[in-house]
A and B are shown apart, each in its own frame.
Chain A
Amino acid sequence: GAGVSQSPSNKVTEKGKDVELRCDPISGHTALYWYRQRLGQGLEFLIYFQGNSAPDKSGLPSDRFSAERTGESVSTLTIQRTQQEDSAVYLCASSSRGDRVWETQYFGPGTRLLVL
């Protein structure tokens, strides 16, 4: 079946502009995760959605970052007033039950964001 997809693959924007990144999880997966990977760094957790529960937003670095998810499907990560330090690969993952400790997460290909 289809894996996790993300769009766009690459995004170049100017400092101060807003960007929207999209993630389509694997059909039927209740949990969805957003991560950020800066050059040469490990993955950083941003936000976690599980079913209809309130999302865990504890990883969002500032109030310029927000994310939404429609039911158990598509999610959008929005970065407002982008800064150069927002340049990174943004990765989305999904899992079937949302067990954050034990469950395998399936990753999308990522969106490479470059803020000029």
Chain B
Amino acid sequence: KNEVEQSPQNLTAQEGEFITINCSYSVGISALHWLQQHPGGGIVSLFMLSSGKKKHGRLIATINIQEKHSSLHITASHPRDSAVYICAGGGADGLTFGKGTHLIIQP
């Protein structure tokens, strides 16, 4: 059974800080997805990656296949980045989800 572990569970930071959320995953996962769940509940896909690094605006996702580890970074964080960030691993049985990181950015 595939497993995905995220850390930290909760993170509170000040506006402008650089944010890092970590995700470790098990053998059998080929692709790593990062999702954002807004306070209202809607889930949006941010990135899918299997190697290297992807960037979209202030969001950067990296993956190290050998170490089975991925990170999501937010530069120049803003209160509107407050959300739950979810790491999900794609394998033969579909997506396995982490429990999420609850991020609060204070003004």
* Chain A residues near B (Cβ < 8 Å): 33, 35, 40-45, 48, 56, 58, 89, 91, 93, 100-107, 109-110, 112
Contacts and interface: CB of A to CB of B under 8 A. Distances in A.
B31 interface: yes
B30 interface: yes
A71 B4 CA distance: 33
Interface of B: 4, 30-31, 33, 40-45, 48, 50, 86, 88, 90-100
A107 to B, nearest CB: 4
A109 to B, nearest CB: 5
A42 B86 CA distance: 8
A103 B64 CA distance: 20
Contacts of A35: 97
A87 B83 CA distance: 22
Contacts of A58: 93
B97 A43 contact: yes
Contact of A42 (B30, B92, B100): B100
A104 B90 contact: no
Given A58-B93, A101-B90, A102-B90, A107 B100 contact: no
A101 B42 contact: no
B94 A33 contact: yes
